[in-house]
Amino acid sequence: MKRTDPSPTGAAPRSPAIDWVNPRRLDLDPGVARSGLLDFGEVLRSRRSTRRLEKATLQQVAAVVREALKADYTGTGMHEGRKRKRVISAGALHPVNCVLIDPDEGAIYYDDENDVFVAVQPRDQALLGTYLAKCEDVLPTARGHVIGLIADVRDLSSVYTDHETLLWRDAGAVLQTLALTSEASNLGFCPLGILGQELADALLGNDQAFVGVGAAAIGRRVQE
C-alpha cells in the first residue's frame, strides 16, 4: 500500500484540553519504576511478551506508565505544546494518551503534562464492558491490568498533512517504550492486536478526534 509523506502545514498546535467526564485526581504516589540491577542492554535482550499474568498493584503499573510517558518539559513560545518525553514522536506533539483499567478505580487517565493519574467516568459503561471482553478474548490468560492507548489527533491533523502514518509510528513507539519499561520493572507485558476504539468511544463519545491506537496487558509474570 503506497502512502504519501506527511508534511508540516505551518499551523501551530493549540493543545486543547480533553473533555473527560468527572475527572478525579488520584493520590497514587507511583514514584519511579524499579529497574533493579538490570542495565539497558540486559533489558533489551531479556524482553519478551508475557501472556500469563496476574494483577500487579495499581502503584506498580502506574509507575511503569509514568516512567514511560512522563513529560519533563513542555515548550514555550513558538514551541508551545511540544513536550519533551522519553518516547519519540513526530513534531514532539505526543498525541498518544494512556488509560489504565483498574478493577477498583475503573478507567484512569495518565495526565503526562501535570504528572497525575486521574480517574474518569465512562460516557458509555456498556461499551467499556465490550472493550474489556474483547481484551479478554484476545488474551484470556492475562489477568493483569489493561493499558489502552488513545490518540488525540486534533493537533497532529492540523500540524501535518497526511498525518495518519505519523500516528501509527508514534503509537508503536509508545508500546515499545512501555514494553521495555515493564521489563526493567520486572513486570510482564503483552501488546494486544486490537485497536481499542471502543475504549475511546466509551470514555470520550463518538468523536473523530480520539482514536484507539493499541492496547496491552501488564502484570506480574506467572511461571509457565
Ligand X SMILES: Cc1cc2nc3c(=O)[nH]c(=O)nc-3n(C[C@H](O)[C@H](O)[C@H](O)COP(=O)(O)O)c2cc1C
Applying CB under 6 A, the residues found at the interface with ligand X are: 48-49, 51, 138-139, 190-193
- Could you tell me whether strands 145-152 and 96-102 are parallel, antiparallel, or unpaired per DSSP bridges? antiparallel
Identify which of residues 120 and 177 has a Cβ nearer to ligand X in the complex.
177
Identify which of residues 69 and 190 has a Cβ nearer to ligand X in the complex.
190
Residue 145 backbone phi and psi in degrees, to 5:
-80, 155
Q: Say how far apart CA 68 and CA 48 lie, in whole Å.
A: 17
Compute the least distance from the CB of residue 190 to ligand X, in Å.
5
Compute the least distance from the CB of residue 124 to ligand X, in Å.
24
Compute the least distance from the CB of residue 79 to ligand X, in Å.
31
Cell, residue 207: 468523536
Identify which of residues 44 and 126 has a Cβ nearer to ligand X in the complex.
44
Compute the least distance from the CB of residue 88 to ligand X, in Å.
16
User: 212 pairs with which residues across the strands?
Assistant: 150
Compute the least distance from the CB of residue 180 to ligand X, in Å.
11
Identify which of residues 139 and 151 has a Cβ nearer to ligand X in the complex.
139
Identify which of residues 20 and 177 has a Cβ nearer to ligand X in the complex.
177
Residue 50 CB neighbours (<10 A): 23
Cell, residue 147: 493499558
- Burial (CB < 10 A; 0-12, 13-18, 19+), residue 3, is exposed
